Amino acid sequence: MIETRALRYEYPAGPVLSFYDVDVRQGGVLLLQGKSGSGKSTWLALAAGLLTPAAGEVVVANQPLSKLSHGKRDAWRARTIGFLPQKLHLSDAMSVERNLALSYFAAGVPENLATIRRALMALGVRELAQRRPSQLSGGQLQRVALARTILMEPKVILADEPTASLDDESAAIGLKLLRDCATQCNATLVIATHDARVQQAFPAAVVHLMARRQAAALS
Ligand code: ADP
Ligand code: MG
């Protein structure tokens, strides 16, 4: 579940963003829509505890993020959130498998090679485990990114424009993988998107239209 209340973020030397409240139940699917610059990526970063709000509260999987010390937040995120960024950076200094193993290190738990291999298998890229990321195609990298997202069986999956650069067939496969992963973990799934294909793939999803709140509406 995710609840936000009176959430506000101020970019240093940038805009002040005030968000309408969001509620999504555990296991629910939320589509964050809204034009470019409306604050979708910022909201995802706030929900992941990657950014700290100037005001308001975010509760994710029953955890009020304001109650987590900065030191605990990273390990909490690593255990709880599957974050699928618009472009995942993987280190080319190590194999795909070693890149995924870093998730365990970040979460402070022993690494589990069997789980990594199972996740890569589930996404049809098991044979790529020993390759370097630069030896993979865009579509293969996207599957690896998805495998990484679900590795820790997250309670919440946050995906930022996951279909933006994909053709119809790859988009359909990627969305099905996201849906299957979320169902398997009973995870709450949030997808930031302005792609009509995503809404078609999740007809029952709650849609939240991201819009800039006017300063006057705050008082
Ligand atoms: P979206 O994901 O919907 O396109 P963003 O959350 O990326 O929107 O951006 C919301 C607003 O914040 C935009 O006006 C954008 O220019 C601004 N913004 C985003 N990142 C920064 C940053 N690091 N510094 C200053 N302004 C930023
Ligand atoms: Mg964005």
- Determine the pLDDT at residue 194: 87
Predicted pLDDT at 78: 92
* Assigned token pair, 76: 């909490």
How many angstroms separate the most distant Cα atoms in the chain?
A: 57
- The rounded Å distance from CA 113 to ligand 2 centre is 33
The confidence score (pLDDT) of residue 219 equals 40
What are the backbone angles phi and psi of residue 116, rounded to the nearest 5°? -60, -45
What is the distance in A from the centroid of ligand 2 to the CA of 111?
31
User: What number is the average pLDDT over the span 124-138?
Assistant: 95
- Rounded to whole angstroms, the Cα distance separating 49 from 65 reads 7
pLDDT at 135: 98
pTM of the model: 0.93
Distances (CA, A) of 147 to 93, 99, 103, 140: 19, 11, 11, 11
Which carries the bigger pLDDT value, residue 36 or residue 212? 36
pLDDT score at 186: 93
A 10 A CB-CB count for 160 gives 20
- pLDDT over 60 at 54, yes or no: yes
High-pLDDT (> 70) share of the chain, %: 97
User: Does residue 164's CB lie within 6 angstroms of at least one atom of ligand 1?
Assistant: no
Angle at 42 between CA 11 and CA 144, to 5 degrees: 135
CATH of 2-90+156-209, one of 1.10.3720.10, 3.40.50.10490, 3.90.440.10, 3.40.50.300: 3.40.50.300
Atom of ligand 1 nearest to the CA of 161: 2
What residue owns the CA closest to ligand 1's atom 14? 37
User: Does ligand 1 lie within 6 Å of residue 33's CB atom?
Assistant: no
Give the pLDDT score at 217.
Answer: 47
For ligand 1, pick from 11, 41, 86 the residue to mutate: most ligand atoms within 8 Å of CB.
11
DSSP string, 144-209: HHHHHHHTT--SEEEEESTTTT--HHHHHHHHHHHHHHHHHHT-EEEEE---HHHHHH-TT-EEEE
Of ligand 1's atoms, which has the minimum distance to the CA of residue 42?
A: 6
pLDDT tens profile 56-88: 999 999 999 999 998 899 999 999 999 999 889
pLDDT at res. 50 = 95
Domain locations in the chain? Answer: 2-90+156-209
pLDDT(198) > 60: yes
User: How much distance in Å is there from the Cα of 86 to the middle of ligand 2?
Assistant: 8
Query: 26: CA distance to ligand 2 center in Å?
Result: 24
Q: How far is the CA of 23 from the centre of ligand 2 (A)?
A: 20
The mean predicted confidence, pLDDT, of the chain is: 92
Instruction: Tell me the one-letter amino acid at 81.
Output: I
Average pLDDT over residues 141-158: 92
